[in-house]
A and B are shown apart, each in its own frame.
Chain A
Amino acid sequence: MSEEIKQLYEQRLGRYQATIALEKTDRMPIATGSNYFAEVYSGNTKQETIYDSEKWLRAEEAFIRDFPEVDVLRDNRIWGPLYDAVGCKTYKLPGRDLPPRTQFQFVEDEYMKADEYDVLINNPLEFMMDRLLPRLLGELAEPGSIRARMALLKGGMAQVMMSQIMRNRSLYLEQKLGMPQPMTGFFLAPFDALADAMRGLRGVLLDIYRQPDKVMEACDVLVDEMVNLALATADPLKRYPIFVPTHKACFLSPKQFETFYWPSFKKTMERLIEAGYTIRAYLEGDWGHHLHHLLELPRGKVLCDIDNQGDIFKAKEILGNHLCIAGGIPDSMFILGTPQEIRERVKLLCETVGRDGGFIINGGCNIPYDTKPENYRAMIDAIIEYGTYDKSIDPKPRVPQPDGSKAPVQLKMVTPWEVKLAELGGVLGEEDLIRRPWELLEIMGYTWIWQWVL
């Protein structure tokens, strides 16, 4: 990496990190998490982005060239072939089930039955392997069949290919273009894990009336699994926040949120923060009634994206100077508005919500695909003009936080090394040479199983 690129990378990352940590920096970062616009800017179809990783990267390169002020790009994208290999039913993909220029869409269904809570609670792994995955992944529909076993093989291989693509892309962006990522790694709030790909919204809403205790117990059990998933997929260097999109909180009453959603979500986030990470949470829908709970988390550790239906001014009032927030421009303004409207909106946001830092201008959790390029340009120019705090500050990345948890988290495995070692009755050579790759593959396999709840 050239010195110039390294400097650029460090400046961008430092600016982003300082803002999340509520510390002073030179200017408001231009740091959307999901920038869908970046993907289509160069003319790619949406199918090309998720099926042709080379074209995806070229599109992003073109985007970065034309918008060099941008501080972080995006990641956490899916790679179509993995989803095909196992026949994942929860996503409709462009070019496969949808026209090539239509965006991917999540399809909810009741994949877990109302009377299966005890299976999930008593043995989450068995529940995933024997119940959920065969229903969620079409290719595994007949467990034990040749086709199903083949699909597991292909799925594992595709996972490695996808990881390689993501890793190379991330390194290319960093080392050739000086571009950090907005987040790395992912998890769901336990209630969402239950309410998205397992019970679905309708199912879970019936459950909270008909069997509330089971819902709470299941959420508790899922804390461990979500912490594990997050840590297994996070940036080991702890530079970037871990991503959590929230889906069902906006449907719940404050009382339901406090009972079913918040306790397990809070526990999950606390464990990740304790392990030295920050979190980027998409607060989808209107979180107005739930926001104050976030004050229970440590200061400066969570970046909260406020959605279109939320109120950015109210969010600032509630979260104050405790957590960084992002948002403020309605999606419709990016798509239908004019550069002048955007400019005025940015000015207003910079003079109010963003006056003392701890704020990132964004759409409702993303920059929409159909954003007019001139509107995006106007946003950037206006942020530079109105969102510059102190030009004398030269942002630098933060030193990663050590793991503060009392017992450092051991990532989960199906067959831990001790079990294998006992089976082998000891080894003749250097044990670590065998143990390390064994554990790595076990961890990868375990992570593979749980990623499908997203």
Chain B
Amino acid sequence: MTVLAEALKDLDEKKVYQLVEEKIKSGTSPLEIIAECNAGMVGVGELFSSGQYFLSQLIFSAEIFKNVMNMLEPLMPKSESDGSAGKVVIGTVKGDIHDIGKNIVVNLLRGSGFEVIDLGVDVPAEKFVEALRETGARVLGLSALLNFTYPEMKTVVEAVTEAGLRDKVTIIIGGAPCNEQVRQFTGADYYAEDAVAGVNICKKVYS
């Protein structure tokens, strides 16, 4: 692991920014810097999965990563999307306006190199379908905090089926009220116990 990746993994915020700035000055390509940061984020994910990091560390790492991306943004060559690990459409389902959990997953996915189409909160089924059609993403993530969304998640899965996309798209549900019983009810492919588990499923789909 490089010094930069290590610093990100250790959540040493100042050191990360300092190293990134030095690398920019010395002419390292933005994509190389991102690759190093990705490695750091993978390290964070591993620490989370092994119980050494908690949600706060996951959120903070994503925050640092986001700031690095903002530093790199002006230097990025146009249309770099083909470098992505894959596309993921994600949103909080209709009726629910919470986004903390979804944002953690979105930032973590971006940190792992995915291109994320984040539809926001209170997203109706047809919008999910539309985004899947437009982007050709092979993963759909449905987020929820409130338990009255069970029927709504099912509605989204059915809408994807009706649109003829079901066999091309892996659907993951996640959020506090989700479990195996809910997954079965909605007809989704997976439920993700936590943000890292969700990212790992996306990696599996695109591997």
Chain A interfacial positions (CB closer than 8 Å to B): 92, 98-99, 102-103, 105, 107-108, 201-202, 205-206, 208-210, 250-254, 256, 285, 289, 308-309, 330-333, 335-337, 368-370
Contacting residues, chain A, for B59 (C-beta < 8 A): 201-202, 205, 251
From known contacts A103-B148, A331-B147, A370-B148, infer whether A308 and B60 are also in contact, taking CB-CB under 8 Å.
Answer: no
List 19 other contacts, CB 8 Å, given A253-B56, A336-B182.
A92-B97, A103-B146, A105-B97, A107-B97, A201-B59, A202-B59, A208-B56, A251-B56, A253-B57, A289-B54, A308-B176, A308-B177, A330-B179, A330-B181, A332-B147, A332-B177, A337-B181, A368-B148, A369-B148
Chain B interfacial positions (CB closer than 8 Å to A): 11, 13, 53-57, 59-60, 63, 95-98, 100, 146-148, 150, 176-177, 179, 181-182, 185
> How many CB-defined contacts (below 8 Å) exist between A and B?
73
A434–B146 alpha-carbon span in the complex (Å): 49
A308 to chain B, nearest CB (A): 7
Main secondary structure of the interface of A (DSSP, over half): mixed
A253–B100 alpha-carbon span in the complex (Å): 17
A2 to chain B, nearest CB (A): 39
Contacting residues, chain B, for A98 (C-beta < 8 A): 95
A254–B56 alpha-carbon span in the complex (Å): 11
A98–B96 alpha-carbon span in the complex (Å): 10
Q: Is B147 in contact with A202, judged by CB distance below 8 angstroms?
A: no
> Which B-chain residue is minimally distant from A341 (CB atoms)?
B181
From known contacts A251-B55, A253-B53, A285-B176, infer whether A209 and B150 are also in contact, taking CB-CB under 8 Å.
Answer: no
A250–B148 alpha-carbon span in the complex (Å): 22
Contacting residues, chain B, for A254 (C-beta < 8 A): 54
Tell which of A105, A251, A285, A336 touches B150, judged by Cβ atoms closer than 8 Å: A336
From known contacts A250-B55, A252-B56, infer whether A105 and B98 are also in contact, taking CB-CB under 8 Å.
Answer: yes
Contacting residues, chain B, for A330 (C-beta < 8 A): 179, 181
A301–B182 alpha-carbon span in the complex (Å): 36
A114 to chain B, nearest CB (A): 13
Contacting residues, chain B, for A107 (C-beta < 8 A): 97
